[in-house]
Amino acid sequence: MLVTIGAIFFIYILTKIYISVMEIGYVSIQKHNPAVILTASNYLKAANYKISSQRLDIVGSLVEYIAFIFWIGFGLKWLDGMITIEDMALKSVLYVLLFGVVGFFFSLPFDLYKTFVLDKKFGFSNMDAKLYIVDTLKSSLMFILFGGAITWLISKIIINIESWWLWGFALIFGIMVIINVIYPTLIAPIFNKFTILENDDLKESIEKLLDSAGLKTDGVFTIDASKRDNRLNAYFGGLGKSKRVVLFDTLIEKLTKNELLAVLGHELGHFKHKDILKNIAMVGTLLFLMFFIFGNLPESLFEAIGIERSPYSIIAMFLIFSPILLLFFMPLFGMMSRSNEYHADEYGSACQSQEELASALQKLANENKSFPKSHPLFIFFYHSHPPLVERLKRLGVKIDE
């Protein structure tokens, strides 16, 4: 059994590395061709950033495999022996929290390097040590409080209900929907300052755009995104009455009024086409599949690792092996998402014009240093948006490749 699960995880890691290697090779060739969409300097910088990011991901995949060997080889059994509490639900909480702490230290060097070396080098990150520590403490506290509470609830379900995986799915899916509802009003403000849009002319135009689409929101807000990053973005957050229009302060500075309205029109297209609900349904389907699989793991798996079947060991298996399902489920999600993006572009164009949306997308790509091309395999597995070259062609932009 250990050989089987080891082989499955090895194939998963090998697949990730192969995709990254193909992307590096593709971008390394394309960066020497004449620049498209981006300025020549930004085109080269975007290519180099993509190559550096993928190299970091390869190293991260190797460390992920080392972490897998650690946990399966002796880590899970070692952690089990450390916690001698008899209350099974409480032991599960401590076990999962400690599992998360170890995982945090595995990933910390990569996060630090990306934030303070890679993103600084390419002019993205404005993060300083104080803000990074504050963000980490806030995230850790939320993980302890909410992660602990959810683990306790799941453990109680596993202990007391035979078909626990079905009820566990219902609980997590319900929590996921609740998070979508409360995120813009309760969670996001923990990390960013939300301010009501002060530009009355822009605010009035946005509200007219929302009214034309029949969208009722909690308001139009800007956030101080520039304190962490120079990238541009905007989004509609929340469900029901908690929906908010959120504009990054960096976006308002770089786009014209009509370009910004075209971008928001694109986001409105997702609302009109109920893409958020489609995404929730897709995630719910994947979540159901995961709970079914991990709710019916063979006893021999736990015996091979040397731990008993328990709430905490089941949750640990879920955390270790769920990335495999995510990777191989992503192509289906990506195909649906890329189709949705084209339809949203059509709606955004109708709100303003194809020219305004195309101009906004080009500015976003230049400011965010987004390389406009990718290897087909990388697109297949990872892209939730179509390549920018293809989006602009659909918008009538003639691109000489």
8, 32, 72, 132, 220 from 103: Cα distances, Å: 20, 39, 14, 18, 37
Q: How, if at all, do strands 220-223 and 244-248 pair?
A: parallel
Q: Considering only CA atoms, which of 168, 172, 184 is closest in space to residue 146? A: 172
CA distances from 91 to 77, 195, 268, 315, 365 (A): 14, 42, 46, 12, 48
* 119 is a catalytic site residue: no
Task: Give the neighbor-by-neighbor strand order of the sheet with 194-196.
Answer: 194-196, 220-223, 244-248, 234-237
Other C-beta atoms lying within 10 Å of the C-beta of residue 177: 14
Q: Which of 119, 259, 341, 345 is catalytic?
A: 345
Other residues' Cβ atoms within 10 Å of the Cβ of residue 64: 20
CA angle 114, 176, 286 (to 5 degrees): 85
Q: Extract the tokens encoding 1.
A: 């059994």
* Catalytic, out of 259, 267, 275, 356: 267
**Sequence-ordered strand ranges (E) for 7-106:** none
Non-local CB neighbours of 381 within 8 Å, separated by 6+ positions: 19, 327, 330, 331, 334
Give the distance, in angstroms, between the CA of residue 152 and the centroid of all CA atoms in the same chain.
25
Angle at 296 between CA 291 and CA 175, to 5 degrees: 20
Q: Between the CA of residue 393 and those of 244, 354, 390, what are the distances in Å? A: 31, 11, 5
- What would the two tokens of residue 94 be? 């401590």
Q: What is the DSSP letter of 114?
A: I
Q: Does the annotation count 23 as an active-site position?
A: no
For 166, other C-beta atoms within 10 Å of its C-beta total 15
**Tokens 């500015």 sit at which residue?**
363
Looking at 71-163, list the stretches that DSSP marks H as alpha helix, in order from N- to C-terminal side.
76-82, 88-113, 119-121, 129-142, 148-160
Give me the active site residues, please.
267, 345
